[in-house]
Amino acid sequence: MGLTRKPAPVRLVMGFLASDAEAIEALRPQLREKFGEEELYLPAFPFAFTNYYESEIGSAPVRAFTTYETLIEREEIVNIKLWTNELELRLANEKGTPGLRPVNLDPGYMSLGQFFLATTKDQRQRVYIRDGIFVEPTLYFQEGHFHPFAWTYHDYQSPEYIKYLEEVRRRLAHQHTTGKPYNQRRKMSETPPRNEQE
């Protein structure tokens, strides 16, 4: 019989999809207030993988990602997804377009072995957690790189995403090892010179 143990905390990864970079920049402070200091931000770049979101955010959307220094427990992703859903609806109402989100927020989490996305939609590969929220294994880490599954969204298979997420993983491994976020590491240049008389 295996013994149960609490898994290591994971990194929250937040994806943004919006009509322009300004909409994302306006939202980042609110997310920092909720989740803490950002750990690694990938600025907005053109998103051209599907026109699925055109009715909500236009024909030339942009994508961005950020992570946060404070690690989370895996089960927290449910409350995070519920919160981002409520935020999306509130932003739509404030803009006067109920039901049409000006910004699409895609929270997920990363362990050292996999990257998961949270979703409200059921599919054969998705695992139900609670309160209407599922998680989907999106990428797995093997032989030094992230790899997609057969069902992984095309954009999450792209070199741009993979490069960013592998850097997120490298920093997560650093935090697991040292107990401190990568951005708080002590740089070699900051190390005081050794006193040769010691």
**81: left (phi > 0), else alpha (psi -120 to 50), else beta?**
alpha
Q: What is the mean pLDDT of residues 19-37?
A: 95
The pLDDT of residue 121: 96
CB of 105 within 8 A of CB of 86?
Answer: no
More confident residue, 196 or 145: 145
- Map out the domains of the chain as residue ranges: 22-178
- In this predicted structure, the answer to whether residue 196 has a pLDDT above a threshold of 80 is no
The pLDDT of residue 102: 82
CB of 136 within 8 A of CB of 92?
Answer: no
Report yes or no on whether pTM surpasses 0.85. yes
The size of the chain, in residues, is 198
How far is Cα of residue 54 from the mean position of the Cα atoms in its chain?
Answer: 22
The pLDDT of residue 190: 52
Strand 133-142 with 114-119, pairing:
antiparallel
Q: What is the mean pLDDT of residues 43-68?
A: 88
More confident residue, 197 or 163: 163
Residue recorded with tokens 């990363």? 110
Read off the tokens for 130. 């609670």
- In this predicted structure, the answer to whether residue 191 has a pLDDT above a threshold of 60 is no
pLDDT tens for each residue of 161-184? 999 999 999 999 999 999 999 998
More confident residue, 190 or 20: 20
Q: What is the CA radius of gyration of the chain?
A: 19
Q: What is the mean pLDDT of residues 66-94?
A: 95
What end-to-end distance do the CA atoms of the chain give, in Å? 54
d(CA 157, CA 147) in angstroms, rounded, equals 8
Read off the tokens for 186. 């002590």
More confident residue, 101 or 108: 108
Q: How far is CA 24 from CA 35, 49, 65, 114, in A?
A: 16, 19, 10, 26
- Lowest mean pLDDT of 12-16, 21-25, 112-116, name the range: 21-25
Please give the sequence-ordered ranges of beta strands (E in DSSP) within 70-154, or none if there are none: 103-110, 114-119, 127-130, 133-142, 145-148
Work out the number of other CB atoms within 10 angstroms of the CB of residue 168. 22
- In this predicted structure, the answer to whether residue 195 has a pLDDT above a threshold of 80 is no
CB of 112 within 8 A of CB of 172?
Answer: yes
- Lowest mean pLDDT of 42-51, 73-82, 166-175, name the range: 42-51
- In this predicted structure, the answer to whether residue 92 has a pLDDT above a threshold of 90 is no
The pLDDT of residue 189: 42
The pLDDT of residue 198: 42
